[in-house]
Structure formats: C-alpha cells, structure tokens
Amino acid sequence: MLISLNWLKELVDISGYTTEELSEIITKTGIEVDGISEPEELPQGVVVGNIISCEQHPDADKLSLCQVDTGEETLQIACGAPNVKAGQKVAVAKPGAVLPGNFKIKKTKLRGEESNGMICSLQELGVNEEDVPEAFKDGIFVFPEDTETGEDAVKLLNLDDSVLELDVTPNRADVLSMVGMAYETAAALARNYTLERPSYEEAKDKADSDVAVKIVDKEANPYYGAFVVQDVEVKESPLWLKNRLMAAGTRPVNNVVDITNYVLLEYGQPLHAFDRDRFNSNVIVTRYAEEGEILETLDGKLRTLSPHHLVITNGEKAHALAGVMGGKESEVHEGTTDLLLEAAYFDPQVVRRSANDHELRSESSVRFEKGLDVNRVAQAGERACELLQKYAGATILKGTAEEDHLNRKETVIRMETSRLNDRLGTKMEVQDVKNVLRRLQFEYEEKKGVFDVQVPSRRFDISIFEDMLEETARIYGYDHIPYTLPEGSGQAGGLTEEQRLKRNVKTFLEGAGLSETITYSLTDKESAEEMISPELKDEQHGAVRLAMPMSEDHSHLRLSILPELLRTHSYNTARQQQNLAYYELGKVFISREDEHVQQPKEVLRAAGAVSGEWVTNPWQQEKKEADFFVVKGIVEELAGRLGLSFTYVKGDVQGMHPGRTALVVCNGKTIGFMGQVHPRYQKKHDLKETYVFDLNMDLLLNLYEKEETFVKIPKYPSVSRDIALVVGEKTSAGEIEETIVTTGAPLIKQVRVFDVYQGEHLAPGEKSIAFRLLYQNPERTLKDKEVEEAHGAILEAVAAKHNARLRQ
Amino acid sequence: MKERLQELEQEALLKVEQAETIEELKSVRVEYLGKKGPITEVLRGMGKLPKEERPVIGQLANEVRERIADAIEEKQSRLEDEALEEQLKNEDIDVTLPGRPIQVGGPHLLTSIIEEIEDLFIGMGFEIKEGPEVETDYYNFEALNLPKGHPARDMQDTFYITEELLMRTHTSPVQARTMNAKNGKEPVKMICPGKVYRRDNDDATHSHQFTQIEGLLVDENVRMSDLKGVLQEFAAKMFGKERMIRLRPSFFPFTEPSVEMDISCKVCGGEGCSVCKGTGWIEILGAGMVHPNVLEMAGYDSEKYSGFAFGMGPERIAMLKHGIDDIRHFYTNDVRFLKQYHNA
C-alpha cells in the first residue's frame, strides 16, 4: 500500500514531523513503513509555458523552434520532441533552472538559432520511466489546456511528493485507504480527522424507479447498491487526480474509471461502473454462476465459471465476476454516456475463492477479501457521484437502487483499567485510557475505571477484550510497557535424557571426524524409497507423497537419510572436494498404511557417509582411503559411548554392496546397517567408493542404559597371549571371537584381532587371523596355570568348532 | 694416617676434576669409595691406633669420604648436563613441518545457533519440546485460531498430503500439543526448535524447508511486560548487551496483542544503512500474548491463565550474525561452507 504524503497532508495535519519521524511513529504504533520514496533532487525553475508558435528549425530536420510564453517573458526554445505543437501547455526549464543530475539550463545556440531554455519530458524532470503515461513516453509532457501559464510545474506534477510504502498486516484492512490512514495517523500523532459526507445535486427521478436490484444469495452478497449516472462526458481526468493515482501506483485511464479507482484508494471501497447501454437491462441480479457459464473479463480473457463464483448479471448473462473484475462487454468506453455504478458488499470468502480460481488478485478483490466498513459502502458510491458530477458533468438520479441485508450491529467491549494493567504490566491511570480512546476516536462510557467501548464500524478487526488491549497498548506506546520477568511458579529448565543423549551422539560423531549436515526431508520418489533400513523395510508402505509438490525433486517424504546425504557427496565431489565425512541426525517418515491417511511414524536416525582419504596429507605416514572398517570403527565406538555392544551380521540392503554390508544388531534386534554403497549406485551418482552407516536412534535411545554403579578399576595385572589361527577363508572373525569369549569366560577380558593374512604361506582357501587375548582376574593375581588351562580350552574349542589350527 | 687420608683426598679430588666422562667418574668412585678402596683400608687399619685417636681419625675419614662423594656428585651432574646439551643439539627438528592431520568434524551452523538459543532459554527455566513434522490440520492451524478458510492459511503456502495432513508450516503446533497434554491446568514454559516446510520455490531468500524456534509461557498472571523482559534478556545474550530492542505492533492469528521485535542494527548502530534498509532496526522475531481462543481450545481458562509466545528463524539469525547472503547454503552442505562454522 502506497501513501502519498501530499494527499495525506490534505486530510490530517502532519506538520512538524519529517518524513522519517512520521514513518517511525506510524511504524511503532502499528503500521509498518517498509520503504520511503522521497524526491531526491527536485527540478528547480521549471514553470508551465504556453507554446505560442512552433516552426521548423531552418537548419535542422529534427528540431522545432518554439516561442514560449512563460508568464513573465516569451522565450525562443529549440525542441527535438516529435509531439511538440503550437498551443500546448508544457513544462519549461528556464535559463538558470536545474534539472535532476545537476543539469543546469543555459542560454545556448543550436545550429545557429538561439535556444533559451528547454521544454521537458517527464523523464527529464526525474519521473521514473515506468511511471510515465504511454502518450508522453517518447516526447515532452503536455499539461491540460486549462493549466495556468507560469505556474510551478513541479507542484502541478506532484514531483515534490513523498510516498510511504506500508506493509499492512492482514488484520488492519481498515488502513487500506487514505481515510483509514488518516484516522490512523491522527491517532498516532494525537491530531484530528473526520471524514466528511460527500454532497452532490440529485436529479428528481429516483434511481430505484429506473433500475431494480435483486440479490439471490444474501450470505454471499449482503448488500448491493446501484447509482444511476447519466450524461457523463468521458475524457481525461484533471491533473491532480491523475497525480494521486500515479502516486499510489495506479495508471490513469479516463475520468470515469479514474474516479472509481480514486474512491477505492480514498475510501477503501471497490466500485464498478457499467456502461448502461451495453449492460442493456433495468434489472441487476447477483447470483452464483452456472456450471460452465462463460464471462469475458476486462483483461480480454474468457473465464469459465463454476457454481461457487458469484456474478453480477443483467438478469440474463454475467457482466462481472463479483468483487474481482468487470466484464468486457459493459466496459466504460469513450462513447459511454450513462452508467450503473455499483457499490456493494460481497462475502470475503466468496471473493477470495473467485480470485484464487482465476488467479486474479486485484486491488478490488484484496479489499473485499480482507473486509470493508459496512457503513462506508454506499457513502463511497456517493463520493464517486460527487466527483462524476464535478469532473464528468454527470446527472445523478436520486438515491440508489439497492437490496440491503448487511449486519450493522455495533460492537461494545468492556475494558477494566485494572485488568488492562494486569495484562500489560503497566500502571495506566483512567485518564491515560481516556486519552487513548479519544485519539482513536472510539466512543465510550466509563464508570470507576470500567470502560464500555463502542467500536466504530471502520475497525471491524476489533471484537474482543484482547483486541482492545492491543489497541490501547499500541497507542499508549509499547515503549511505555516496562521490562519484567515472569513471577509464576519456577521450573528448572533442562534437556531431557533423550535430548542430552542426542547431543552426546552428535558430539561423538563430530569428534570422530564427521561434519554435521542438514538435508531435505522431501526428495524424489526414487530416492525416497532407496536404502531403507531392514528393520523398517517390512512396516513401511511406500513413501508419502505431497498432494501438490512444487517439483518432483521434492515430492516424497524420505524413508532413508542416505540418498540425500549421498547427494551432498556427489555435489562436493563435483567441486573437487574429495575427502568427505558427513553425518546427519534426522527423521524419516514411515507410512502406516497405503493410503497415507494417518500421520506417518517419524523415526529418528543417525546416518553417515565417508569417502576419499581418511588419513590425508601425510609426510610421516601412509595415507589411508576410507573403507568399511573406518566406518565400523565409528559405529563400534558409538555403541561403546551408549554403553551398548553391537554385533554385525552380513546382510542385504537395496542400494548397498552385497558383499560389504552388515546389519547392525543390538540385544538381538536389528537397529540399522552399514557398509559400502553399491558400485552401480556409486557410478550412477558420480560417487567415489563410499561407506555409510544408518542407525535407528529411536531404538538406540530406548536401549541405552545409564551406567549407574562404579566398576572398580582392576588392581591385579593382566596377562596377554597372542594366537594366530588358520581357518577356511569363509570363516568369520566374529564367529571365532564369540567362541573364544564364551569358552574363556570369566577370565577373558578382551579379544582383539591384530592381523589377518592370506597368501603364499598358506594353502589356497585358507586364511590366518591373529588375536590378542587378555586374561585378568579382578580378585587376585592370575596364576600361569589358570591362564594355561583357559588358553588350552580355547584352542580346543576353536579347533572343534571352526576347524582352526595354530599357525606355526 | 691423618696425612694419608689428606693425601687420598687430594688425589681423588684431582681425579674427579680430570674425569671427562661419566664412566671415568664411576671408576673414580669405585676406586676411592668402593669397599676395597684406600679409605676403607685406612679405616680397617684404625685398630692399630691408640684408643683416643680412633674417633678423630674415624671422623676425618668420614669427612674425606663425604667430600669426595660430593665432588663426584657435583661433577656427575655437570657431566650429565653437558651430555644432555649434546643430545638436545642432535634432537633438533623442523618445527614448521605440518602436524599429523586428524579428522575433525563439527556441528552444522544451524545446530550451533539452535543449541545456543536452547541453552539460553534453559538458563531461564524453559524446557525443550519436540513434535511431529507431518502434522494434522487441527494442530497446525485450527488449534492456533486459524480456522478453515482463514486467509493466512492459503493452499499456496502449505504442503498438504491429504486434506487433514500436511507438512507443518511452523513449530507452533508443538505449543498446542504441549498445552493439550497439560489438560489446561499446569503452567507451560517451553521452547520448540525444529524443521518446518513452506510451499516456496528455493531461491536466495526462500527455502521450502527451514528451521524455527518457538517459545511459549503460560501461567497465571503472565503480563506483556514479562514478554518484553524475557525477549530483552534473550537479545542481550544472543546479540550483545549494547544492542537495543524495540517492539512494534504486528499481527499473528494466535496472539493478541501481537508484536514484532527489532534489534538495533549492528552495522550502523542505528544510524541507518543498507543492511537495515535505512531504518536502523533489524527484525528478529515475532511474538505476542497467547490469543484467548488458543488457550481455551487447549483447555485453559483464559480469564485465569495468560501467556506469551514468540517465534524466530535460526536461518535469519545465522545470516544476520555471519553476513550469509543465500539461504540455500544451509541445505547445499558444501563442505567448504560447513567447515567455516565448525567453531561458530
């Protein structure tokens, strides 16, 4: 919403404030000023001149020599504009004038002829190219004929205006008009404003004997008034009116259209003028459209209507889409003489639906959608009639033809000063409240600090005590509310156990070398259903799809974090970032049934991906590529951090390397997986060899048990023994380890693989795994004999179970 | 015997002095102080002395021994020092060579900002609540005084899944859920950070996914001045004590009165510059007193209970704090971007 200060100034006294101060006050009382456009460099010394004669320059084809009367003197000026003619009133920069850009006008000679000044285009006067009316785009500006010679052109053209750009919140539709802003400004500055009733001369004949109005649905259209306007002369609007429209960002058309637009800006009430002849009826019927009914709107588009679109008809066919746009057929044109002027109230939701369906957001529809002052509808029509009479010579029939079902019930709100102070934390006196209400021009009755406030109809946003609370507070000033801290029952803030754990997991993963990422939950269908963790695989019913996605790339809710995480790997790899280690803690969405009617189950997961060198930039040591065991090391340590122990079972996950993928199992439950991304997937997404893990955090956080009791640090020394076992190459280290642990209990404290060998010293199909075993007795020093016994038992067990022999 | 002892002392001290290595010194020790050394010998021969001289000689012998031992000790530590000096010379390294690289990760900038804000409000006694990202229409809109057909819930802005199911457009449904869970009785004091979704095309200032932190305090006699106090406390800790705050009226369907909070511009200090669009103020968050309809819908008696709520965008705060010009950086996860903020 744009507010011309030159216009506002005529409604309410804003003297004594700079534009910046005014903006600050208006912003702080409730209407945010989002931008200020002030004239930066005003042209000086530019007056209205009358071109007495205009002749071809003797020595230049494209120049004209004009004799221009500026009121004080007659100047010879050479002009190159194609549209210059004798008899025109034009803007003349006299010698000594300064135009924007510090362009000084001097007496000069052009091709041997004197030129004492310049006839200006609007652009030369500093008007933005896009604001220049079409007729003057390629030449000089021409004032209306009745303009006084010698007048200040800058004032006439309203170039000295400042315009405020307001960002109006949806509740304050009352300020979407100059009248509304005048009330608001008056309240903010504690000055006066009253809207005067328009007046014009009415003809003897009555409007409602000429035309009849019929409303079919009074919910959708509570009020429809039609003024009958006759004998108008369609022509250009006066300059001041055009200036005001332009300042508000509306392009002038002709006096009739301009006047309805002007009243829209002034009163906030949209109006529509039909050409009476082309409307071609004495009845106006408002009704819902029929299915498939067609209306050509003013913009020349054919609109196919549905039964929830409200239309204005002549009893037979639609002539306007109510509140949104008029019809082409009955548009006001140069030859229009009689009008039907509509001033109506349409239901906001009805207008909204029509505007949405036809993608037609207009100045008019916006105001209907946000609400109108019920007491200003007909008055706005009267204001238009007043202007039509004055500037289009119209005859106006008496009264209106109307049907009226508007609810004009007044809102009265009770407001106790004490309650006001309790809610705001202020110490307002009764007199303070009175002052606020006076500034707002709200009537009230008051007894012992209890106010019954009568809310004026223009403030249809106010309906409950809290609304008045805000109203009072903002005028009283938010700055005058003190700073306090809540006094209520104290509560110890803090993280829940789960939140604390989540933070621990993040800190751990970061310490382990992974950078946190946040990727999109919405992805394409294919990615959404890839790499689903086995424990979710059976319960899911496909990725949940958005009803109206913006793009297919973000159309489905992910079932795994990994595809999007791997996308960031592709992105970075493509940008020469080779060594990547990422993790994300985020949710995946598991639908509970095929129809996706219920809220999906949201499962928190911790997923990571590593590729490239894990140990980089060596000058002392070997560099090391990321591999399965780098990621496994991280997962194992994470288990330790949570006080859990994981086991790893070879498994199959779609999108993963079949030979290098393990399911991660905890307490007998699969809680995720880890391994290498399938080479086919890697190739498709331009990934290097990439290793990932994906764990179900919800399950892990459930399994986590806090270590409560202190475990004594063992006092007695441990004994370590190394064994290298030769086994078949398919035998896994994990199986052997399990046998060692179960057989060696309780003395075995730790088993660690420290070497795996396969090659020339062994038979084909064999491998050797070397373990370091640690024996310890927490109660006393171990005896050699005990260790020998346990060790022997272990060797027997692995030989029996895994066909393992000691490597010599 | 006395002379013999003095002679031995002279001899030994000379040898100590002449010793050049620790080994030589060791042999001097063995030679003079050892069990078979000359001093021991002298002491053994003391039996031949008259009774009254024995203690004198004995004492002298001990003194000589001690002096020799001290001299050896002293020389030894000197030789050791010299040896160490020599060793240090050989252990010289090029300290400008790079250290052994270790893999370090770090948090995402948004997480850092969110956790900073969480900790700040935890310090003021707030709990942290979470809620589902796929919400029902009821909790996302209706329970927040946004009935069906309300202009503020245009289809344009919301990713619907079905008519009743949607991607939450703000973290406010967590407020409604938390209040509902308390059955309209106990006070609520919480913040809820999380991901939210809007039906927008991604560009420099829009992202279809972003984060939000919402706060809510409901209790008996909560005043608007309390909101001001808490927000000031927050702004001082988050942005620095020197920044001023201002509240100005605004509109949200779930609060009444509604406010927007600005902080004074850091770049120009309130003078007006391009960062604050000439106003001297930068918008940080929206807030207000909980609308009585919202309280009532959650089962609270709005005559007895009142409260305030506020909501802010970590992306915006991060962008302001670090001068980041494009919201997409947060979700592209360019490693060079992420690593810049690992210690933020």
* Rounded Cα distance, B280 and A21, in Å: 13
- pLDDT of residue A708 exceeding 70, the answer is no
Domains of chain A: 2-39+162-189 (3.30.56.10), 44-156 (2.40.50.140), 202-404 (3.50.40.10), 411-480 (3.30.56.10), 497-703 (3.30.930.10), 719-806 (3.30.70.380)
Q: Looking at beta carbons, which residues of chain B come within 8 Å of A622?
A: none
Judged by CB atoms closer than 8 Å, whether chains meet at A522 and B197 is answered as yes
Which residue of chain B is at minimal alpha-carbon distance from A621?
B100
Mean pLDDT, residues A66-89 = 91
Q: What's the rounded Cα separation, in Å, for the pair B173 and A145? A: 64
Q: Which of A24, A38, A515, A611 to mutate to test the interface with B (most CBs of B within 10 A)?
A: A515
Give the nearest chain B residue to A349 (CA atoms).
B149
Under an 8 A CB cutoff, do B127 and A478 touch? no
Which tokens sit at A60? Answer: 């230049």
In the predicted model, what is the mean pLDDT of residues A585-600?
89
- Give B125 to chain A, closest Cα distance, Å: 4
Instruction: Calculate the CA dihedral of residues A366, A369, A370, A373 and round it to 10 degrees.
Output: 100
Predicted confidence (pLDDT) per residue in B212-235, tens digit = 999 999 999 999 999 999 999 999
Confidence of residue A530 (pLDDT cuts 50, 70, 90): very high
Residue B326 pLDDT class (50, 70, 90 cuts):
very high
Q: Where are the alpha helices (DSSP H) in chain B?
A: 2-18, 22-33, 38-44, 53-90, 109-122, 137-140, 172-181, 224-239, 292-297, 314-322, 329-332, 335-340
Find the closest chain B residue to A481 by CA distance. B225
Chain B nearest-CA distance from A60, in A, is 48
Contact A494 B123 (CB under 8 A): no
A517 vs B101: CB contact, 8 Å cut-off?
no
pLDDT, tens digit, for every residue of A350-359?
999 999 999 9
Q: What is the CA radius of gyration of chain B?
A: 41
Q: What is the average pLDDT across A290-306?
A: 95
Question: Crossing angle, helix A178-189 and helix A255-267, to 10 degrees?
Answer: 30
When CB atoms are compared, the residue of B200, B292, B333 closest to A568 is B333
Nearest to A369 among B151, B161, B260 (CB): B151
Q: Which of A543, A547, A544, A540 lies closest to A592 in space, CA to CA?
A: A540
Angle at A99 between CA A95 and CA A100, to 5 degrees: 165
Contact A577 B334 (CB under 8 A): yes
Residues A209 and A226: their CA atoms lie apart, in Å, by 12
Residue A510 confidence (pLDDT): 96
A545: chain B residues, CB-CB within 8 Å: 161
Enter the ipTM: 0.84
Average pLDDT over residues A771-776: 93
Determine whether the annotation assigns residue B233 to a binding site: no
In Å, the largest CA–CA distance within chain A is: 130
User: For the ranges A263-267, B49-53, B318-322, which has the lowest average pLDDT?
Assistant: B49-53
Mean pLDDT of A217-246: 94
Q: pLDDT by residue (tens digit) across A136-193?
A: 888 999 998 888 999 999 888 888 889 999 999 888 999 999 999 999 999 999 999 9
Interface with chain A: mutation pick from B116, B135, B136, B159, highest number of A CBs within 10 Å = B159
Q: What is the pLDDT of residues A490-524, one digit of tens each?
A: 678 889 989 999 999 999 999 999 999 999 999 99
The Cα of A234 is separated from the nearest Cα of chain B by a number of Å equal to 38
Closest CB to B223: pick one of A425, A597, A616. A425
Binding-site sequence positions of A: 461, 467, 470-471
Which DSSP state fits A232?
Answer: -
Which sign does the torsion angle of CA A185, A186, A187, A189 carry? positive
Tokens of B80: 């050791």
Q: What is the mean pLDDT of residues A465-471?
A: 96
User: Rounded to a whole number, what is the distance in angstroms from the first to the last CA of chain A?
Assistant: 91
Q: Per CATH, which fold does B109-340 belong to?
A: BirA Bifunctional Protein; domain 2 (3.30.930)
Q: Looking at residues A101-129, what average pLDDT do you find?
A: 88
Are the beta carbons of B208 and A28 separated by less than 8 Å? no
Check whether A89 has a pLDDT greater than 60: yes
Contact A521 B209 (CB under 8 A): yes
- B164-186 confidence digits (pLDDT tens): 999 999 999 999 999 999 988 89
pLDDT of B266: 79
| In the predicted structure, residue B344 carries a pLDDT above the cut 70 | no
Q: Is the dihedral of CA A259, A263, A264, A266 positive or negative?
A: positive
Least confident of A103-112, A706-715, B187-196, B319-328: A706-715
| CB atoms B229 and A583 under 8 Å | no
A602 vs B133, B232, B330: nearest CB: B133
Contact B106 A510 (CB under 8 A): yes
Cα dihedral A783, A786, A792, A797 sign: negative
Of A487, A521, A577, the CB nearest to B335: A577
The chain-wide mean pLDDT, for chain A, equals 92
A with B: how many residue pairs have Cβ under 8 Å apart?
Answer: 256
Tell me which residue in A349, A426, A522 faces B208 most closely, judged by beta carbons.
A522
Contact A636, A591 (CB under 8 A): no
On chain A, the residues whose CB falls within 8 A of the CB of B339 are 515
Predicted confidence at residue B154, as pLDDT, reads: 65
Which residue has better confidence, B101 or A583? A583
Average pLDDT over residues B18-39: 85
Q: Please determine, for residue B155, whether its predicted confidence score (pLDDT) is greater than 60.
A: no
Answer yes or no: do A466 and B149 touch at CB < 8 A. no
Q: Phi first, then psi: what are they for B264, rounded to 5°?
A: -65, 145
> How many helices (H) and strands (E) would you count in chain A?
23, 43
Higher pLDDT, B243 or A533: A533
The better pLDDT of the pair A198, B16 is held by A198
pLDDT above 90: residue B135: yes
Taking only the tens place, the pLDDT of each residue in A596-650 is: 788 999 999 999 999 998 887 667 777 889 999 999 999 999 998 888 889 999 9
Answer whether residue A707 shows pLDDT above 70: no
Residue B61's pLDDT is: 84
For residue B150, list chain A residues with Cβ-Cβ distance below 8 A. Answer: none
Mutate to test the interface with A, among B94, B103, B188 (most CBs of A within 10 A): B103
**What average pLDDT score do residues A233-238 get?**
92
Annotated binding site of A for Mg(2+): 461, 467, 470-471
Other Cβ atoms within 10 Å of A123 Cβ, number: 15
Inter-axis angle of helices B109-122 and B224-239, to 10 degrees?
Answer: 130
Judged by CB atoms closer than 8 Å, whether chains meet at B134 and A616 is answered as no
Chain B environment of A423 (Cβ under 8 Å): 223-224, 289, 306
- The chain-wide mean pLDDT, for chain B, equals 90
pLDDT given for residue A489 in this prediction: 64
Residue-wise pLDDT tens digits, A731-742: 999 899 999 999
B333 with A550: Cβ contact below 8 A: no
Min Cα distance A220 → chain B (Å) is: 15
Distance CA A393, CA A302 (A): 34
Q: Do B222 and A488 touch (CB under 8 A)?
A: yes
pLDDT at A782: 87
Check CB contact under 8 Å for A597 and B165. yes
Q: Which of B221, B278, B292 sits opposite A466 (nearest CB)?
A: B292
Check CB contact under 8 Å for A486 and B97: no
| Mean pLDDT for the stretch of residues B312-333 | 93
* Separation in Å, CA of A614 to nearest CA in chain B: 7
- The pLDDT of residue B343 is above 80: no
> What does the radius of gyration of chain A's CA atoms come to, in whole angstroms?
42
Helix (H, G, I), strand (E, B) or coil at A621: coil
| pLDDT at B167 (0 to 100) | 96
Q: Write out chain B residues lying below 8 Å of A30, CB-based.
A: 248-250
* pLDDT computed for residue A34 by the predictor: 84
A712 falls in which pLDDT band (50, 70, 90)? confident
Pairing state between β A310-313 and A318-321: antiparallel
Query: Are the beta carbons of B101 and A615 separated by less than 8 Å?
Result: yes
- Mean pLDDT over residues A357-366, rounded? 92
Helix, strand, coil abundance in chain A, percent, nearest 5: 30, 30, 40
Q: Identify the band that residue B195 occupies on the pLDDT scale cut at 50, 70 and 90.
A: very high
Residue of B154, B226, B295 to mutate, testing the A interface (most A Cβ within 10 Å of its Cβ):
B226
Rounded to an integer, what distance in angstroms lies between the CA atom of residue B285 and that of residue B287? Answer: 7
Q: Cβ separation of A466 and B291 shorter than 8 Å?
A: yes
Domain ranges of chain B: 2-90, 109-340
